[in-house]
Structure 1
Amino acid sequence: MKLWIKRSLWTLLAVVLLLGGTAYYQLRSMGVFPRYDYDTVPPTLPTFSKPAVLVFTKTNGFIHKDAIPVAKRVLGKLIAEQGWEAYLTDNAAVHSPELLEQFDFIIWNNVSGDVLTEPQRAALKQWLESGGGWLGIHASGGDHSYLWSWYGDTLLGAQFIGHTMHPQFQDADVLVADDTLAVTDHLPARWTVEKEEWYAFANNPRDKGYEILLTLDEDSYRIKGENFFGNDHMEGEHPIAWRHKLAEGRVFYSAIGHQPYTYELPMYQAFLVKAMHWVRGAAEPQADAEAVASDEGGE
């Protein structure tokens, strides 16, 4: 083989390896490849002087790099406005019987992948069934890599199967499932949310007796059906937020929240605040009419 051909082949191989390595690093940094990083040393909690809320963010799966920090800031602000105290951590070892007892309720903020050890799973399950409250947001219910069947089958009640693609982010109409509920009475019957990523699920939690709060109008966005990225379509009703009682506890899930600016929408903030009060076991507060009126998404 001629020398110039050998050099060309070696150069081509080097380029392929370089591009492949770069692509792998980028995908890994996004969390496309599941990790199995488990925390075993619990954090030292401060002394709380107010009702305490755990805001937990750990990503062993896809990392919502833009949404997570904004959600942390917004959730911290909303929690403080209710007169509570937020404790933010990505240390999963906070899920112990002793530490969970110090919180009024917990929020899983875009948690992804399998994050809890067996003892931590048992602690969360026991705490919830004994009267705790759990609010899950977006990726906390949109992941294939959870290894805990109870989490998907019972806590969430639905298995994520995909989201919108081509384009990934689209305007869509969110519909209020029951306009008599306090948690959604500040929303218009048809609420347009702009440039979000919309999840689909393998089953409707309503079939398990869970209370559906918000649904998607599939005619309002572009559906591709089954594709490489899963499925963005559901037969019949397409729920996007729901809640249910779990023994003595309360569970609330909202699939809305991929984009950072979604957390800035007054209507969504009011929805999250009402969700917090409900999982805490209290009546949902009335939304600030002037604040939600400024939300252009509801116009």
Structure 2
Amino acid sequence: MAKLMNWKVLLVLVCLLALAAYGFGRYTGMIQRNVYEYEPPELPEYTRPAVLVLTKANGFVHRDAMPAGENMLLDIARAQGWDITLTDNAATHNAQDLARFKAVVWNNVSGDVLTPDQRVALKSYIEQGGGWIGIHAAGGDPKYKWQWYVDTLIGAQFIGHTMHPQFQDADVLRSELESGMTAHLPDRWRIAQEEWYAFDQNPRGKGYDILLTLDEDSYSQKGESIFGTDTMPGEHPITWRHSVGQGRVFYTAIGHQAATYQIPEFQALITEAIRWAGAMP
């Protein structure tokens, strides 16, 4: 009887711990398992240049930024006369469907979201001339199962962000690179209450074009912390672009806060990024 009671107590404790972990995951925005899709949705016929937007999280769920990003991208597409499809179904990443789009935007995608076949399809799509744009969490995982994604597509491993406080005002600086993509921005662009990423290396060392950097003297630095570091030696890039085969890739670490997607300068930056990556009119 005593042994039976001990097992019952143990089972109750396990259940309580599981519920606590689930509650913690929901509270912090983390989810506990990977979800993959194998059947793509039926897509409409496109009569204009089209953009595919994937908004999906198998990692940290940016509950405010994800819908804010979708709304911004819808507004951009309407203003530019582009067709657009929003989805959380990664099975859209197949050769036939991807070929219908000029560019693919990963809107705060986190965690491992593609099957091996879908990885092959996306890599081939980009290398053969497709455009890819990653926003914030698309480059913010602490580790990746798909090494090509972090080593080549993003070009740097996320290692931490600002904490205590997490959200801070900071100055973003235009790189010396002359780019129409950032021509609308001042040389020193103050962004309010954002979360600032740091990476393990500067993609400039791989030949990537650095568009925007972070002035580390403009925010409160904590250096090493329980969540990695918010500083980088030398130049601190937060937005860059490069080519992969015949395709074009753009990534920006800006975009944790929903309010950021309402900033006209940020909207213009993403507009120009899509136009450049997708060779859009």
Listed one character per residue, the Cα deviations across residues 134-189 of structure 1 (whole Å, up to 9, x for unaligned) are: 00000000012420000000001000001000000000000000263211111111
- Matched residue count: 270
Listed one character per residue, the Cα deviations across residues 225-256 of structure 1 (whole Å, up to 9, x for unaligned) are: 11111111100000000000111000000100
Listed one character per residue, the Cα deviations across residues 72-112 of structure 1 (whole Å, up to 9, x for unaligned) are: 01111101111001100010110000110111111000000
Deviation for aligned residue 1:49: 2.0
Shifted more, 21-30 versus 208-217: the winner is 21-30
* Equivalent position SS for 1:183: coil
1:79 aligns with 2:95: no
Residue matched to 1:40: 38
Q: Which residue of 90, 93, 96 corresponds with 1:92?
A: 90
Listed one character per residue, the Cα deviations across residues 104-136 of structure 1 (whole Å, up to 9, x for unaligned) are: 111000000001011000000001000000000
Instruction: Check whether the contact 2:182–2:211 (CA below 8 A) recurs between aligned residues.
Output: yes
Q: Which residue of 256, 260, 263 corresponds with 1:262?
A: 260
1:213 aligns with 2:211: yes
Q: Which residue of 27, 43, 49 corresponds with 2:24?
A: 27
Q: Which residues in structure 2 correspond to 1:101-112 (within 5 Å)?
A: 101-112=99-110
Q: Structure 1 CA distance, aligned partners of 2:175 and 2:128?
A: 29
Deviation for aligned residue 1:280: 1.2
Residue matched to 2:130: 132
Q: Which residues in structure 2 correspond to 1:125-204 (within 5 Å)?
A: 125-178=123-176, 180-204=178-202
Q: Structure 2 CA distance, aligned partners of 1:26 and 1:214?
A: 37
Deviation for aligned residue 1:25: 2.6
Deviation for aligned residue 1:26: 3.1
Indicate how the Cα distance of structure 1 residues 146 and 179 shifts in structure 2: closer, same or farther if over 3 A, else same: closer
Instruction: Check whether the contact 2:49–2:280 (CA below 8 A) recurs between aligned residues.
Output: no
Q: Structure 2 CA distance, aligned partners of 1:36 and 1:70?
A: 23
* Equivalent position SS for 1:166: coil
Q: Can you give the 5+ residue segments of structure 2 that lack an aligned partner in the other structure?
A: 1-8
Residue matched to 1:293: none
Residue matched to 2:243: 245
Q: Structure 1 CA distance, aligned partners of 2:50 and 2:279?
A: 14
* Equivalent position SS for 1:59: coil
Instruction: Check whether the contact 1:31–1:60 (CA below 8 A) recurs between aligned residues.
Output: no
Indicate how the Cα distance of structure 1 residues 231 and 282 shifts in structure 2: closer, same or farther if over 3 A, else same: same
Shifted more, 116-125 versus 33-42: the winner is 33-42
Q: Structure 1 CA distance, aligned partners of 2:76 and 2:31?
A: 33
Indicate how the Cα distance of structure 1 residues 197 and 23 shifts in structure 2: closer, same or farther if over 3 A, else same: farther
Q: Structure 2 CA distance, aligned partners of 1:114 and 1:36?
A: 7
Q: Structure 2 CA distance, aligned partners of 1:228 and 1:258?
A: 19
Instruction: Check whether the contact 1:34–1:62 (CA below 8 A) recurs between aligned residues.
Output: no
Structural RMSD (CA): 1.9
Runs in 1 of length 4+ with deviation above 4 angstroms? 20-23
1:64 aligns with 2:62: yes
Deviation for aligned residue 1:47: 1.3
Residue matched to 2:276: 278
Q: Structure 2 CA distance, aligned partners of 1:259 and 1:181?
A: 25
* Equivalent position SS for 1:72: helix
Instruction: Check whether the contact 1:34–1:113 (CA below 8 A) recurs between aligned residues.
Output: no
Q: TM-score, normalised by structure 2?
A: 0.91
* Equivalent position SS for 1:88: strand
**Higher Cα radius of gyration:** 1
Q: Structure 2 CA distance, aligned partners of 1:48 and 1:99?
A: 11
Deviation for aligned residue 1:32: 2.8
Residue matched to 2:5: none
Q: Structure 1 CA distance, aligned partners of 2:136 and 2:261?
A: 11
Instruction: Check whether the contact 1:59–1:115 (CA below 8 A) recurs between aligned residues.
Output: yes
Identity of aligned residues (%): 56
Deviation for aligned residue 1:282: 4.6
Q: Which amino acid aligns with 1:182?
A: G
Q: Structure 1 CA distance, aligned partners of 2:214 and 2:20?
A: 34
Q: Structure 1 CA distance, aligned partners of 2:72 and 2:31?
A: 28
Q: Structure 2 CA distance, aligned partners of 1:93 and 1:33?
A: 20
Q: Which amino acid aligns with 1:133?
A: G
